[in-house]
């Protein structure tokens, strides 16, 4: 009789063990998913490093405009780049580069300040203030623009996919 009771207790115990494991499975899967997110997080990149990289690209953009360097824009602007100039004209990558390389404008200074960057996973939005002094048809002019660029992180680095420039008062006819 005690053997039957022992066998019955063992059978009940073996039947209950899988149900206890099943109850722990959701907790275990949550824990596993959490660990995987933590392990994968470094692969996404440090947000501060990404932000600083885009700040550097914004400064390099201003330098490339000052020098009329189209090569920089070939590398950093995406092939399907679209933008809107300060006077409302829509522009693509090729027209942007042609505008930058134009000999009609002689730039004396061009700087980017007040650079602010927001990173959202593989996308970033940068805003800044462009200040420039230049000569057009022998006339010395200066202007300031509020600028926005939208970046996408690709396997080859950050690329600008969209840009918008807005003249700040006083409005002066600009080539950008």
CATH architecture, range 45-167: Roll (3.10)
Q: What is the mean pLDDT of the chain?
A: 84
pLDDT in tens, 81-125: 999 999 899 999 999 999 999 988 899 999 999 999 999 999 999
Mean local confidence (pLDDT), 148-159: 96
The pLDDT, as a whole number, for residue 8 is 56
Model confidence band, residue 176 (pLDDT cutoffs 50, 70, 90): low
**C-alpha dihedral over 150, 153, 158, 160, to 10 degrees?**
-30
Query: For the chain, what are the domain ranges?
Result: 1-44, 45-167
Rounded CA-CA distance 30/111 in Å is: 49
DSSP letter at 144 equals E
Partners of 167 in the beta sheet? 145
Pairing of strands 105-120, 139-154: unpaired
Cβ neighbors of 145 (< 8 A, separation 6 or more) are 86, 129, 130, 132, 165, 166, 167, 168, 174, 176
The pLDDT, as a whole number, for residue 145 is 94
Mean local confidence (pLDDT), 35-45: 56
């Amino acid at each position: 009789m005690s053997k039957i009771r022992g066998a019955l207790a063992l059978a009940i115990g073996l039947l209950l063990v899988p149900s206890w494991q099943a109850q722990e499975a959701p907790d275990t899967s949550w824990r596993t998913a959490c660990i995987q997110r933590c392990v994968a997080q470094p692969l996404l990149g440090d947000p501060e490093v990404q932000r600083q990289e885009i700040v550097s690209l914004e400064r390099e953009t201003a330098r490339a405009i000052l020098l009329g360097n189209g090569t920089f824009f070939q590398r950093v602007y995406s092939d399907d780049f679209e933008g809107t100039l300060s006077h409302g004209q829509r522009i693509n990558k090729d027209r942007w580069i042609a505008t930058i390389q134009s000999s009609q404008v002689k730039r004396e200074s061009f700087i980017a300040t007040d650079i602010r960057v927001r990173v959202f996973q593989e996308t970033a939005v940068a805003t800044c203030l462009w200040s420039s002094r230049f000569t057009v048809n022998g006339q010395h002019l200066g202007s300031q623009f509020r600028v926005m660029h939208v970046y996408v992180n690709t396997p080859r680095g950050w690329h600008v996919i969209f840009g918008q420039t807005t003249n700040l008062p006083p409005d002066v006819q600009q080539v950008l």
